[in-house]
Amino acid sequence: MFKTKISGVGMYVPKDVVTNNDLLKYMDTSDEWIQERTGIRERRYAHRTEETTTTMGVEAAKIAIERAGITPHDIDFIIFATLSPDYYFPGCGVLLQRAMKMKEIGALDVRNQCSGFIYALSVGDQFIKNGMYKNILIVGAEKHSFGLDFSTRGRNISVIFGDGAGAVVLQPSVNDSGILSTHLHSDGENAEILAMYNPGTHANHWKDQKLADFDDAEIAEMFMSHKMIDKAQLFPNMDGPAVFKKAIEKFPEVIMEALTVNNLQTSDLRLLIPHQANLRISQFVQKKLGLSDDQVYNNIQKYGNTTAASIPIALCEAWEQGKIKNGDLICLAAFGSGFTWASALIKW
């Protein structure tokens, strides 16, 4: 069986830098509160009308494909991870296939939020290992700025998220470098703790608490209603402290799982690239695992939490800064909505 290597990395972030102080125009918050709780100083917001999740993904993909030494025409399969797609359906994968004028290849969309990129990587890894495809494009991209509640009511969520995209190209490895293993987990018990319920087909089925106000009607009218807009039910929801508590348990667990399966230790790690959820979560994980500052890459300070894009953006930046060299052991790890969590161990 082949191993899968990452042969090209790319990233794209919009030009528009939005500082914490810029957010004061919309909500009651402060630079001090945001930096202290999350580490975030600024984030990027996509151009409202000219940039979409897919167009940002395309920009990141162009770079990854060029660095892999191939052309869009050589790509055999697309996997696109996002929670903020251009359309409710179809997914961003086909929009990217169209925009990049690729062949009539398969395009799969992954909906695993913060773990989306690692889930996508794991799926791509299987296709390369079993010889089905030779060049797979994986994209993680988000346009959060379009769907956040920028009033004070939504400030616990809206200050955290930013827009951007990252991409990698997977190919068969010709030596012993490549993805050593991936580890995927889920626990839907607390699915509503970090979720956007509406629009959806749930019909208030899952919880005693009403998650959506529908219009009275004999048929339909249950997907989206004026009441939902009036009651601000079309925004994401998050119980921050509950997410924090679970994240600091599952991040170290899934990182150790990857190391243990491969008979490796934290001291073998050149770099841990955690999903950029919150700087305090990364710092907690670093301390728990006894990693040095050099062994953990963080860039949430500049970009906020870009969900499915955060790992490929961080991976690309770390690679561009020369922090990842051939033979280095790299661990990617994520935790997020679902809850889902995941890790990937890679010999670069």
What's the DSSP call for residue 213?
P
Residue among 35 and 177 whose Cβ is closer to ligand ACO: 35
- Residue from 162, 176, 221 nearest 2 by CA: 176
Q: Which amino acid is at 193?
A: I
Candidates 114, 144, 198, 278; catalytic one: 114
Q: Could you tell me the end-to-end alpha-carbon distance of the chain, in angstroms, rounded to an integer? A: 18
- Indicate if 226 belongs to the active site: no
CA distance 222 to 203: 7
Candidates 92, 198, 275, 316; catalytic one: 275
- Residue from 321, 345, 339, 2 nearest 189 by CA: 339
Residue among 102 and 332 whose Cβ is closer to ligand ACO: 332
Residue sitting closest to ligand ACO (CB): 240
Instruction: Give residue 320's Cα distance to chain centre.
Output: 19
- Residue from 346, 347, 343 nearest 184 by CA: 343
Instruction: Give residue 39's Cα distance to chain centre.
Output: 18
- Residue from 85, 187, 57, 121 nearest 333 by CA: 121
Crossing angle, helix 240-261 and helix 279-289, to 10 degrees?
40
- Indicate if 92 belongs to the active site: no
**Minimum separation from the CB atom of position 115 to ligand ACO (A):** 9
**Minimum separation from the CB atom of position 251 to ligand ACO (A):** 9
Residue among 67 and 144 whose Cβ is closer to ligand ACO: 144
Phi, psi at residue 275, to the nearest 5°?
Answer: -50, 135
Residue among 38 and 82 whose Cβ is closer to ligand ACO: 38
Residue among 97 and 158 whose Cβ is closer to ligand ACO: 158
Pairing of strands 106-110, 136-142: unpaired
Rg, C-alpha atoms of the chain: 20
**Minimum separation from the CB atom of position 276 to ligand ACO (A):** 8
**Minimum separation from the CB atom of position 164 to ligand ACO (A):** 14
What phi-psi label fits residue 163: left (phi over 0), alpha (psi between -120 and 50 degrees) or beta? beta
What's the DSSP call for residue 203?
T
Q: Which amino acid is at 124?
A: G
Find tokens 């930046």 and name the residue.
317
**Minimum separation from the CB atom of position 23 to ligand ACO (A):** 8
Positions touching ligand ACO (CB under 6 A) are: 29, 33-34, 37-38, 114, 155-156, 159-160, 194, 240-241, 243-244, 247, 277-278, 280-281, 305, 335-336
Residue among 73 and 245 whose Cβ is closer to ligand ACO: 245
- Indicate if 316 belongs to the active site: no
Residue among 241 and 322 whose Cβ is closer to ligand ACO: 241
**Minimum separation from the CB atom of position 102 to ligand ACO (A):** 30
Pairing of strands 271-274, 329-336: parallel
Active site residues: 114, 275, 305
